[in-house]
Amino acid sequence: MATGEVKKVVLAYSGGLDTSVIVPWLRENYGCEVICFCADLGQADELEGLEEKALASGASKLIVRNLREEFIRDYILPTMQVGAIYERKYLLGTSFARPIIAKHQVEVAALEGADAVAHGATGKGNDQVRFELTYFALNPHLKIIAPWREWTIRSRQDALDYAAEYNVPVTATAEKIYSRDRNLWHLSHEGGVLEDPWNEPEEDMFQMSVSPQAAPDEPEELTISFVQGVPVAANGSQMGLVELVDYLNAVGGKHAIGRVDLVENRLVGMKSHGVYETPGGTILYTAHRELESIVLDKETLRAKDRIALDYADLVYNGRWFTPVREAYDAFVQTTQRTMTGDVRMKLYKGNVIVVGRRSPFSLYNEDLATFGPDMVYNQKDAEAFIKLYGLSMKVQALMK
């Protein structure tokens, strides 16, 4: 790459080994100014000392934006309200984090007058697609630099050697076992012993949840309250979105909620084995689904279920900023108008056990459902219905 083709680049920066060595690599190979951008999505202590590390790596500045509220409101909640789950298990914690990071990275590039953006995703993973499709959708004029598709670094040791050569401060070691991604929604684990899907995850790997064996021997009751599909309270205490997710992560983790061991199909065509911890998200998905069971009619619920499968693929495959996703959201939002009510659950050794649900908009009618004396439903009417409903089957049998 000829020096001078890029004047200023905004790098999606985490402070980890890969993005730390990308800073001097960009300066060496592109001769450009490097601005580091970090989205605060709830990485907790991972953000400590980040500015000093970025500047010491050769960046001209670090820009951090607190996006936790926006992350839940505009990305997590719409996905939960649809009911999207990728390949039956994955609650998409990394998948919808990438579009919000890339969106703000593009905004920072415009504010800073940058002509390029860069990311640290590998050429084997899904994240490269999620970042770059967002760049395409929001500013197709930006040059995209993906070092993992260009440089000669091929291993963790190579990256450590490069960091040492350029005096890049890193805390990583060659013995690091797992590749992790953390935000306020989940924590993912890949690599190490997990590369063999026959291996059981080691207990000391988990950071957000205890094992079922270590969880309390008594269940804990929890009530989640919703207003138009948005969770607003736990056990009657009103909370903001960030506070609520943090609380549910803590109480869910205490009871071993939300552990998922998954062999998934990556977008690029290979399978990968990962373990996810999503305690609060698992509780919210369960509660929201149960409230739907009494509020939504059958056909609407079936339509949502069909959309959920496509929506999960859209999110996983990085196609967040697309018209079809916006159209799905518009439909789903109409279904949330009556999604107000409470769901009561018990948390016990990895299980979220629903024990009650109520709503002022409930379609459940005890007079119709009762097994006792019935003054509303005439059971004799079912005879004619069954004859019509089964007519085609009867005709087929007669033809035989």
Spell out where 195-303 has E strands: 220-227, 230-234, 237-238, 259-265, 271-277
297 is catalytic: no
**Residues whose CB is less than 8 angstroms from the CB of residue 388 and which lie 6 or more positions away in sequence, other chains included:** none
Structure confidence by residue, pLDDT tens digits, 175-200: 666 889 999 999 999 998 999 999 99
Give the sheet arrangement for strand 259-265, strand by strand. 179-182, 187-190, 271-277, 259-265
Q: What is the value of pTM for the model shown?
A: 0.93
SS3 (DSSP) at 23: helix
**pLDDT band of 1, cuts 50, 70, 90:** very low
Instruction: Report which of 129, 272, 276, 317 is spatially closest to residue 188, judged by C-alpha positions.
Output: 276
Say whether pLDDT at 373 is over 80: no
Summarised one tens digit per residue, pLDDT across range 68-87 is 999 999 999 999 999 999 99
Higher pLDDT, 222 or 369: 222
Say yes or no to pLDDT of 3 above 60: no
In this structure, are residues 318 and 133 in contact, taking their beta carbons and an 8 Å threshold?
A: yes
Which tokens hold the place of 300? 């609407």
For residues 356-375, give the mean pLDDT.
Answer: 80
pLDDT given at position 227: 98
Across the chain, how many H-helices and E-strands are there? 14, 14
**DSSP assignment letter at 273:** E
Residues 282/288/292/295 CA torsion (nearest 10 deg): 160
Q: How many CB atoms lie within 10 A of CB 393?
A: 9
- Which position among 68, 98, 130, 357 bears the catalytic label? 98
Q: Are 231 and 224 in contact (CB under 8 A)?
A: yes
Q: What is the largest CA-CA distance in the chain?
A: 85
Instruction: Tell me which H or E stretch contains 129.
Output: helix 127-138
Query: Is 70 exceeded by the pLDDT of residue 375?
Result: no
Angle value at C-alpha 100, between 233 and 47, nearest 5 degrees: 80
Mean pLDDT computed over every residue of the chain: 94
Catalytic residue among 60, 179, 293, 362: 179
* Res 4: pLDDT: 53
Q: What is the pLDDT of residue 154?
A: 84
Q: Is 18 a catalytic residue?
A: yes
Give pLDDT, residue 381.
Answer: 87
Q: What's the token pair of residue 289?
A: 């689904």
Residue 369 clears pLDDT 70, i.e. is over it: no
Alpha-carbon distance of 336 to 333, in angstroms, equals 5
What is the model's pLDDT at position 157?
A: 86
Angle formed by the axes of helices 279-295 and 241-254, nearest 10° = 110
The two structure tokens encoding residue 114: 């940058």
pLDDT at 331 over 60: yes
Instruction: Give, in degrees to the nearest 5, the angle at Cα 291 between 185 and 248.
Output: 30
Bridge partners of 321? Answer: none
The mean-pLDDT minimum among 13-22, 136-145, 232-241 falls in 13-22
Give the residue-averaged pLDDT of 144-162.
Answer: 91
pLDDT band, residue 370 (cuts 50/70/90): low
Q: Report the share of the chain in percent with pLDDT over 90.
A: 84
Dihedral sign for Cα atoms in the order 161, 163, 166, 170: negative
| DSSP structural state of residue 349 | T
CB count within 10 Å of CB 291 equals 27
Confidence label for 9 from pLDDT (cuts 50, 70 and 90): very high
pLDDT at position 307:
98
What are the tens digits of pLDDT across the range 157-171? 898 899 899 888 887
Task: Mark residue 88 as left, alpha or beta (left: phi above 0; alpha: psi -120 to 50; beta: remaining).
Answer: left
Active site residue 225: no
Beta bridge partners of 216: none
What integer pLDDT is reported at residue 45 of this predicted model? 78
Q: How many CB atoms lie within 10 A of CB 240?
A: 12
Q: Could you report the per-residue pLDDT of 195-245, keeping only the tens digit for each?
A: 999 999 999 999 999 999 999 999 999 999 999 999 999 999 999 999 999
What would the mean pLDDT of 4-12 be, rounded to a whole number? 91
Which residue in the block uniquely carries the two structure tokens 């063999």?
Answer: 196
**Catalytic annotation on 95?**
no
Q: What is the pLDDT of residues 259-307, one digit of tens each?
A: 999 999 999 899 999 999 999 999 999 999 999 999 999 999 999 999 9
Question: Please, which residues have CB within 8 angstroms of residue 112's CB and are 6 or more apart in sequence?
Answer: 8, 10, 35, 63
Q: How far is CA 224 from CA 306, 310, 342, 358, in A?
A: 26, 27, 6, 11
